[in-house]
Every structure is written in C-alpha cells, then in structure tokens.
Amino acid sequence: MLPDTLHELPRHERFAYAKLLAFVTNIDDEITIDEMTVFEQRLGTALLSPSQRKEIRAYLKNPPTLKECLDDLGPVSGRLALRDAALMSAADGNIDEDEQAVLEEIAVSIGLDEGIVDQLLDWVLKGYDWMQDGLDLLNIE
C-alpha cells in the first residue's frame, strides 16, 4: 500500500492512529500473522520513532480502551484509522461480529454513518484483487 496523508499528520495524531490499530488487533483476542503484517506495515507508514513503536507494540499485550484511543484522534487521523482498521481486520479473511461492531462504533464516534464500514470492507476486497493482479502480472507464486 502506498503512503497517502498519514505521514503528514502531527506526531501525536500518528501515535493515536497506531494506538487505535493496536486496540483493533485485540478485538477477537487473537492476532493472526495477516493482521500483524498489516499492523506493522501501517506502523511503518506512520513514521513513528523506535521508542513510540515499542510503546505501540506494548499495547498489543495490554490494549488501551477504545475511549482512550478515540480521545487522542483528530478528524483526519480518526478517519484514516477507521479505514486502516477495516483493512487490518479483513486481512485474515474474516470479519467477525465483534470486529464489525467495533468498527461501526468507531465510525459513529468520529461522526460517520455506521454504513461506511461496509463500504470500506468492499474497498478492502478490491485492494486485495489489485494485489493479486500485481502477483499475476509478474508470475509470482
């Protein structure tokens, strides 16, 4: 995934963004390798310092509350966090009820309609098709 606007946000908002992703990885009480790769990818895009990354990874074991995450997010970082939380939640091929409910709760908390979650999940699927096209193009198995 290409960088877009996340790296331009103030550092404290990028940290809050990553904190929310750490929270979301814990919703179903297990972190799959697929979720972890997306989590680490987005953490990289956020250009956090090594110490901040360490702090964020600690949240994987001791997740913050959703309210703590939402309090620190700005309007743009909140929306990017929702988008990338959807991307990450879908990475293992399943969105369970708990994950869907939390994504919808995040959407409503940042002032969006909960229906946006389904739109984002459709968008995620298109992205995985795009990734597969890239592999097919180069005959990479």
Alpha carbons 66 and 109: distance in angstroms, whole number: 10
Site of interaction with other proteins (CB under 8 A): 1-8, 33-34, 36-47, 50, 76, 79-80, 82-83, 90-95, 112, 116, 119-121, 123, 125-135, 137-141
Q: Which is nearer to other proteins, 69 or 116 (CB)?
A: 116
CB of 50 to other proteins, least distance (A): 7
Alpha carbons 32 and 36: distance in angstroms, whole number: 6
Q: Which is nearer to other proteins, 65 or 115 (CB)?
A: 115
Check: CB of residue 91 under 8 Å from CB of residue 125: no
Alpha carbons 15 and 64: distance in angstroms, whole number: 13
CB of 14 to other proteins, least distance (A): 10
Q: Is the dihedral of CA 84, 128, 4, 48 positive or negative?
A: positive
Beta strands in 12-130 (DSSP E): none
CB of 60 to other proteins, least distance (A): 14
Q: Which is nearer to other proteins, 65 or 88 (CB)?
A: 88
Check: CB of residue 74 under 8 Å from CB of residue 19: no
Q: Which is nearer to other proteins, 65 or 134 (CB)?
A: 134
Check: CB of residue 85 under 8 Å from CB of residue 24: yes
CB of 62 to other proteins, least distance (A): 20
